[in-house]
Each structure stands twice: as structure tokens, then as C-alpha cells.
């Protein structure tokens, strides 16, 4: 196990968290509406999914047999339905409070659900870790798995602290409070696009198999 491999794992974990997606959009709304404490609860809940998907990506990279793609396609369809439901609530909201499942009053629970059901999590994690582990093949082994996952987890925490700080800034909160309904509706529309694209990609593959 080399320091370069651990650094690559931590960097991949941080970039995975910071890359834009449904969870980041939800975090912006939660943090802008309620401040840093609800945002922190959301990312703490989201760590469950981050650990699961990135753990699977690292597990695949060290030579294990990757889970059958049909499983991920089926899960992606379920997740697409979930994101579509959230998106519909967002675009039809008459107030920010009306979109409880987009700007949630239960951020810890919402973070867990987002982390475990994000349909793009595994492929994004696999791509991120594959790119960052280039040239580190000799350091990847089953014995190194705990250390690599711990390094990735450290990257998660660093990136989460950055995001929580950003979404709690006065400028972002003022912007949200002034345009809350339209931000919720725009977020809902993006969720719908994520949902449609995910289903569009996963359903044909599942039918062919």
C-alpha cells in the first residue's frame, strides 16, 4: 500500500462528493432554507450511500467480479421513479414548504434515501476511482481495501465540510429566501431530467438482457 494510492482514493472520494448531481441540488436547498445544521444532517445521512457505492467501486477495481449489470439497471429504474416523484413535487410546488421532499424537514432521513437510491452513484464512483487509480494497479489488493475505503471516507468528510460551509453562506441563503419557489421548481425540473435520462438508459439494456 503506497501513500500515492491512499491519496488517490481520498481525492476520488472528495471529487465524487463535489460533482454536481441530485444530492448536491437537494443540499443547496436544505442549507439555504435552514442553515448549516440541517445541511450537515443531510450529508451525514448521505454518507451511507457514499460508503456503499464507492466501496463497491473499489471492490470491483481490485479484481473482484462486478455485480451483474442487470441488478444495477433494475435498481436504476426504481431510483428513476423516486427522482421523478421528487421532481414532480418540485415543479408543482406552490411554496418552498410545500415541496417537503425536495427541501426536507427531515434532512437526515432524506440524506440516507438520496445516498442509497442515487442511480448514478455506482458508475460515477467507478469512473472516478478508475481515473484516479491509474498507475496504482500494483497497490490495489484485497488487503488494501480497508485502508483505501478509509482514505475515501476521509475525502468524503473533507468535501462535505466544504459543501456545508458553502450552502450556509449569507449570500446563498439570501438568494434562496428571495427566490425559494422558483429554485424549488428548477430543482424539481432537474430531478425530472435525471429521472427520464436514467430510465432512458437503463430500460433498453434491461430489456435486451
CA distances from 171 to 25, 34, 102, 167 (A): 16, 14, 21, 9
For cell 462486478, name the residue. 66
* Residues constituting the chain: 209
pLDDT at 154: 92
pLDDT at 132: 66
Q: What is the pLDDT along the chain (209 residues), one digit of tens a residue?
A: 677 778 888 888 887 787 666 777 778 778 777 778 888 888 888 888 888 888 887 777 675 444 566 766 676 677 678 768 877 877 887 765 555 555 556 778 778 877 887 766 777 676 667 666 655 656 667 777 788 888 888 998 998 898 888 887 877 777 766 777 777 777 778 778 877 877 887 788 778 76
Q: Which three cell numbers stand for residue 65?
A: 467480479
CB atoms within 10 A of CB 44: 17
Q: Where are the beta strands (DSSP E) in the chain?
A: none
Q: What are phi and psi of 151, to 5 degrees?
A: -65, -40
Helix (H, G, I), strand (E, B) or coil at 120: coil
Closest CA to 121 of 193, 52, 64: 52
pLDDT at 66: 45
Distance (Å, whole) CA 87 – CA 28: 15
CA angle 21, 155, 138 (to 5 degrees): 110
Question: Is this model's pTM higher than 0.85 or not?
Answer: no
Contact between residue 183 and residue 22 where contact means Cβ atoms under 8 Å apart: no
Amino acid at each position: 500500500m503506497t501513500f500515492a494510492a491512499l491519496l488517490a482514493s481520498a481525492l476520488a472520494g472528495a471529487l465524487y462528493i463535489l460533482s454536481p448531481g441530485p444530492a448536491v441540488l437537494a443540499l443547496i436547498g436544505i442549507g439555504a432554507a435552514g442553515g448549516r445544521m440541517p445541511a450537515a444532517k443531510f450529508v451525514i445521512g448521505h454518507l451511507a450511500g457514499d460508503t456503499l457505492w464507492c466501496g463497491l467501486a473499489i471492490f470491483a477495481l481490485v479484481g473482484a467480479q462486478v455485480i451483474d449489470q442487470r441488478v444495477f439497471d433494475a435498481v436504476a429504474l426504481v431510483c428513476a421513479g423516486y427522482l421523478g416523484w421528487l421532481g414532480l413535487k418540485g415543479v408543482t410546488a406552490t411554496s418552498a414548504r410545500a415541496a417537503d421532499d425536495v427541501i426536507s424537514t427531515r434532512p437526515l432521513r432524506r440524506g440516507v434515501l438520496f445516498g442509497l437510491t442515487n442511480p448514478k452513484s455506482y458508475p460515477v464512483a467507478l469512473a472516478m476511482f478508475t481515473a484516479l487509480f491509474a498507475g496504482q494497479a500494483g497497490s490495489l489488493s484485497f488487503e488494501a481495501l480497508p485502508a483505501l475505503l478509509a482514505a475515501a471516507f476521509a475525502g468524503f468528510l473533507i468535501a462535505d465540510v466544504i459543501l456545508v460551509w458553502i450552502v450556509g453562506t449569507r449570500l446563498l441563503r439570501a438568494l434562496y429566501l428571495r427566490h425559494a419557489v422558483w429554485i424549488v421548481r428548477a430543482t424539481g425540473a432537474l430531478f425530472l431530467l435525471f429521472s427520464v435520462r436514467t430510465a432512458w438508459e437503463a430500460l433498453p439494456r434491461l430489456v435486451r438482457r
